[in-house]
Chains A and B, each alone.
Chain A
Amino acid sequence: MTDYSIRERSLQPTVARVEHPLIETARMFAGNRAALSGLAMLFIIVVVSLAGPWLYPTDPFEMVWSPFSPPGAKGFLLGTDYLGRDLLAQIIHGGRATLAVGCAAALLSVFIGITFGALSGFYRGWIEEILMRITEFFQVLPTLLFSMVLVALFGASLGMITFAIGIVSWTGVARITRAEFLKIRELEYVTAARSSGASNTNLIFRVILPNSLPPIVVQAALLIGFAILFEAGLSFLGLSDANVMSWGAIMGNNRPYILLHGFTIMYPGLAIFLTVLSISLIGDGLNDALNPKLRKR
């Protein structure tokens, strides 16, 4: 009887249980203090931006006090802008547009980038030739100038701004996706899938793409930060939707007065800085967690 139970125990596998890759990634990420603080910071920023209008209902467009009141005066924690509008209200309300444009533009460029990278890496030949030339073209194009032209010619609506950012920032994703596809398409499991009759669409979307996602995810996270910076740059130059408050727009509005009233630019800039910082901390953490080989660096 005892004998039997011992034998049963010895049938247990002696190797450690293999963790699901996602759980391993999550565990690696959770062990990264910088990445976790980035996540916490971003969480606070997103919550404040989403719930802000209820938490702090002052209208960001309403003139509430004299222009350029310094921070703290008359109960306005961050002071007022060049028209006497509450700066804190503008920052809290402006987060929504900034984050929305950042995410939407990043999504658009990830979509374009994956399409270009996957098609050229999978089909090679003339398709690759053409798609890579187009990618090179967008690498050469001075991105900010081109977006400025687009927004100036076709109107500064949020949609146009998002499009103008997304259309110029996808080349990195395309290059990474293509490199991954070139690498993975030669692997045995792809050959196995192909020989068992998988269609090209299946190979691209169900076999190769899921396996090439890790670096793309990291790049996508960084792209959100990039798009936020880009939107801020456009707004700073005056190319923002006049009906929507955003962090960049606050800085653009107060641009002529930087020397005398620097605080009107400092605080919204700080909001952008902290947001992009937290996003890149998360991106770095994801990179480490998804690439165990790089962890030793």
Chain B
Amino acid sequence: MQFLVITLKRCGLGLGLLLAVLVLNFLLMHLAPGDVADSIAQDAGGLDAEVMAQIRKDYGLDLPLWEQMLKYFYSVAQLDLGYSFYYNQPVTTLILEKLPATLLLIISAQVVSILVGVVLGVIAARKPNGVTSHFVTILSLVGYAAPVFWTGIMLIILFASMIPLFPIGNMVDVSVERTGFAYMVDVLHHLVLPMLTLASIFIALYSRLARASMLDVLGSDYVRTAQAKGLSEFQVVFKHALRNALLPVVTTAGLVFSGIVSGAVLVETVFSWPGLGTLAVQAIVARDTPTILGILFFSSLVVVVANLLTDMLYRIIDPRIKTAETSEI
């Protein structure tokens, strides 16, 4: 019951944050030089003042600011994020078309980096002076210092150009029509390099975190008790220690989601992955403000939802805080 109450409370907070993103969006739209009338006039090669005024009236730009803001909230509540003049489509349609590709990239990168990172971290923690431990140290330095798009380009040159194992970009091979299973395999084949590129930053982060927290936990009393009871090494490490050592990883996984979305923008651009990031870059080149702000809103939505899920996961892993007010450490 309390679990439900806290979850609802968190949802409320998330909604508040999204509302704040909308306010910010609205302000940006108004602070930005030029409005809809200006861009229509530019497309038409210049309009006279009367027509411009009419356009502003049609779009409700002559209303007081707070009224415009309420109208904006109302339309967003109906999933209407405006119209893109560049693509001649409603922004919501555009975004929903591209969202699955981005989600696939983000989620697979997150899952792979957590898995690989935790495994590396655990191995490193069991032998703090072993080869894996040094490897983790070097990996975390390199993973942090290399610009993610540069890593991507180097991977393309290595594994798509010099050794043609993977395609250089895009999400499907457009030259062949595929359906069903063959289509999925094709997408996965295209996913490998971008996913690894995006995961590279976070593998570094998680392996370092997992190593540190595992070292902490392995030195604690209850692990010694478990060892003294004669449990196998495997049981001690994976059933007793890991559960606690995972907590910092889960906390961080929630915190870095906005970073993953940022990384995805760059990775998508490098690999021409047809997701929100590529769309955002195109929209920025085309100065298509409604689309850019729509993407900003939708990606904030993704981060908020991801944070909610992480928070719930955290409560499931750590029963101690199942009923606590907040998971903030």
Give chain A's interface residues, CB within 8 Å of chain B: 133, 136-137, 139-146, 148-150, 152-154, 225, 229, 232-233, 236-239, 251, 258-259, 262, 265-266, 269, 272-274, 276-277, 280-281, 297
Contact = CB atoms under 8 A, between A and B. Distances in A.
A140 B284 CA distance: 21
Given A144-B262, A237-B265, A259-B156, A273 B150 contact: yes
Contacts of A259: 156-157, 161, 168
Contacts of B263: 144
A146 B145 CA distance: 22
B147 A277 contact: no
B110 interface: no
A149 B269 contact: no
A207 B33 CA distance: 45
A259 B104 CA distance: 25
A145 B17 contact: no
Contacts of A142: 258, 261-262, 265, 296, 299-300, 303
Contacts of A233: 147-149, 262, 266
B295 interface: yes
B307 interface: yes
A152 B292 contact: yes
Given A229-B148, A280-B141, 14 more contacts: A136-B13, A141-B258, A142-B261, A144-B262, A145-B296, A146-B296, A148-B280, A149-B284, A232-B147, A233-B148, A259-B161, A259-B168, A266-B154, A274-B145
B289 interface: yes
Interface string B299-322: 110011001000000000000000
Nearest to A234: B266
28 contacts: A136-B13, A142-B262, A142-B265, A142-B299, A142-B303, A143-B258, A144-B261, A145-B265, A146-B296, A148-B280, A148-B284, A150-B28, A153-B33, A229-B147, A229-B148, A233-B147, A236-B149, A236-B269, A237-B281, A251-B150, A258-B156, A259-B161, A262-B153, A265-B153, A266-B157, A273-B145, A297-B212, A297-B215
B130 to A, nearest CB: 15
Contact of A140 (B145, B154, B304): B304
A237 B292 CA distance: 14
Given A233-B266, A277-B145, A153 B31 contact: yes
A226 to B, nearest CB: 9
A272 B147 contact: yes
A137 B258 contact: no
Interface of B: 13, 16-17, 20-21, 24, 28, 31-33, 141-142, 144-150, 153-154, 156-157, 161, 168, 212, 215, 255, 258-259, 261-263, 265-266, 269-270, 280-281, 284-285, 287, 289, 292-293, 295-296, 299-300, 303-304, 307
A265 B296 CA distance: 29
B266 A236 contact: yes
Contact of A281 (B141, B149, B261, B293): B141
List the 4 shortest-distance A-B pairs measured between CB atoms, nearest first.
Answer: A144-B262, A269-B150, A277-B145, A276-B145
Contacts of B142: 277
Contacts of A262: 153-154, 157, 161
Contacts of A148: 265, 280-281, 284, 292
Contact of B150 (A137, A140, A237, A265): A265
Contacts of A239: 284
A52 B95 CA distance: 46
B56 to A, nearest CB: 19
A28 to B, nearest CB: 18
B180 to A, nearest CB: 31
Nearest to A272: B147
A238 B284 CA distance: 10
Given A277-B142, A280-B141, A140 B258 contact: yes
B293 A149 contact: yes
B7 to A, nearest CB: 17
B269 A276 contact: no
Max count, chain A CB within 10 A of own CB: residue among B24, B258, B280? B258
A276 B144 contact: yes
Given A145-B296, A146-B296, A297-B215, A153 B289 contact: yes
Contact of A238 (B141, B258, B285, B303): B285
Given A140-B258, A140-B304, A152-B292, A145 B299 contact: yes
Given A238-B285, A297-B212, A145 B149 contact: no
Contacts of A236: 147, 149, 266, 269
B157 A141 contact: no
A140 B144 contact: no
Max count, chain B CB within 10 A of own CB: residue among A133, A148, A281? A148
Contacts of B307: 140
B17 A136 contact: yes
Nearest to B287: A152
A262 B153 CA distance: 8
A266 B141 CA distance: 19
A229 B293 CA distance: 24
A269 B295 contact: no
A133 B259 CA distance: 19
